Amino acid sequence: MPNPVISGFHPDPSVCRVGDDYYLACSSFEYFPGVPLFHSRDLVRWTQIGNALERPSQLPMTTDTHSSGGVYAPTIRHHDGRFWLIVTVVAAGENVLFTATDPAGPWSDPIPLPGVHGIDPDLAWDDDGTCWCTTAGGAQVRLDPLSGRTYGEPHQVWSGTEGALAPEAPHLYRIGDHWYLMIAEGGTERGHAVSIARGPAPDGPFEPCPANPILTHRGTHHPVQNTGHADLVQASDGSWWMVFLGVRPGGGTPGWHVLGRETFLAPVTWADGWPVVGEIVDGTPPGSFGDDFDLAGLRHSWISLRSRAADLCTTEERPGWLTLRARGASLDERDATFAGHRAQNPRWRARTLIDPAQGRGGLAVRLDERHHYEIEAAEGRVQVIARIGPVRTVVAEHAPPEGPLVLTVENSERQDPGDPCDGPDRLFFGVEGVGVLAGLDGRYLSTEVAGGFTGRVIGMYAAAGSVHFDWFTYEVLKEGTP
């Protein structure tokens, strides 16, 4: 199966090149810090260098921010010696713009854009320095990106195939003698697609490509589905490439994807002045991840729910340990104290050493407040808990010895051929030295069941008092690993 170049819950990719370096930003929704940023020299191997929105002043989210709300669809560009990031902050009900001289940060406080309406804003500059902002649905307006001021009323340019669902994710480019406007359409589910049009000026008029959609996997057996929300970039050698999101559904019918929408890469050639998208390029599967919490803060890839207060999530209270102090009483609550790492592989094992003597908490696999599984420890008791929609239940319980213990969770993929009703995988929760306490059907932690725009996040949480974690490991497992 082709691999994504950035796997696991990294949707809505936007990319730009500066010299021989490429920078890419993704959506982050209700997680904080927001908008992960990646660097690459070859478009295939990516390293996270930071998060653009790492201060509450940049990303104000509260318990009113619902799951799959928060932050939508950034566009990252480099112009006039500066990086520009424009994004929809759904939590604040507005589009905002950030700037930085170094994409690793720090990024500026937000520049409000009261005259920019709609989601998925894009930025493009013409030869005389005029900045054009285009949003979902094909609305366009001239913009002063330094002040946030717009000029005139937004006007409609091109919104894709007539009657098509959800024309969004616009990106405007000057390529050769033409201006190209590329969009996603068909919705971000199985009907997702990419279409493009071209015209003589940034505001058109635009003629659609006769071969639209230029990318879609709908109605095929391709293992990567829901392909769309794309961005184009030209490499330093003159070649062209497309990054786009897709999912890898598993199990029977209708197919469940659990890792979220991931970032894929494909080559692009040109024929008669139109882009032609080639086969998906194999990426570099992410390896194992571990953290012993010896640094002063958390690494870039750790994400929390809506905010991360220093007094609730710290590596400084107990040196060499991560201390989480409870706020919400469980992962059912929007203000739960949680530190998670995106699941990025079809087969994996996560482990953590927990000291619950001063509280209650554990190791969880989360999709949202209504869909999560966890193994939870308190002094003298370990429980496996399942929350599926309106139902929350304890599925197993064990009385371990006193003191710190190692909690584990791993999954096993469905093996073909199987029943068409089989889910994509099973999740097994246990205590090291004791064994597996429960195995749970993975379909209930999938987008097809829960809805929304995110993927599984594996992490630690506190539900009462203070809970300490000495280390965390995420191990990639191969098929057939016992």
**What is the distance between the alpha carbons of residues 167 and 174, in angstroms, rounded to a whole number?**
21
- Pick from 441, 436, 438, 409: nearest CA to 425: 441
Cα torsion angle, 474, 425, 226, 448, sign: negative
177 labelled catalytic: no
CB-CB neighbours of 93 under 10 Å: 7
**What is the distance between the alpha carbons of residues 89 and 95, in angstroms, rounded to a whole number?**
6
Query: Is the peptide bond between 404 and the residue preceding it cis, with omega within 30 degrees of 0?
Result: no
DSSP character for 129?
S
- Pick from 150, 139, 140, 23: nearest CA to 74: 23
**What is the distance between the alpha carbons of residues 373 and 385, in angstroms, rounded to a whole number?**
6
- Pick from 460, 465, 202: nearest CA to 341: 460
Count H helices, E strands: the chain?
1, 35
**What is the distance between the alpha carbons of residues 283 and 287, in angstroms, rounded to a whole number?**
12
Contact, 440 vs 424, CB < 8 A?
Answer: no
Q: Which of 30, 120, 122, 168 is catalytic?
A: 168
**What is the distance between the alpha carbons of residues 61 and 271, in angstroms, rounded to a whole number?**
46
CA angle 246, 78, 184 (to 5 degrees): 30
Burial of 114 (0-12, 13-18, 19+ CB in 10 A): exposed
**What is the distance between the alpha carbons of residues 136 and 387, in angstroms, rounded to a whole number?**
35
**What is the distance between the alpha carbons of residues 245 and 224, in angstroms, rounded to a whole number?**
9
Structure token digits, residue 410? 């791993």
Amino acid at 351: R
The C-alpha torsion from 6 through 371 and 463 to 435, rounded to 10°, is: -80
Q: Which residues pair with 156 in a beta bridge?
A: 139
Structure token digits, residue 119? 């989601």
Residue with tokens 């391709």: 222
DSSP character for 215?
B
94 labelled catalytic: no
DSSP string for residues in 109-126:
PPEE-TT--SSS-EEEE-
CB proximity list for 69: less than 8 A, separation 6 or greater? 29, 30, 90, 91
| Residues acting as catalytic residues | 12, 168
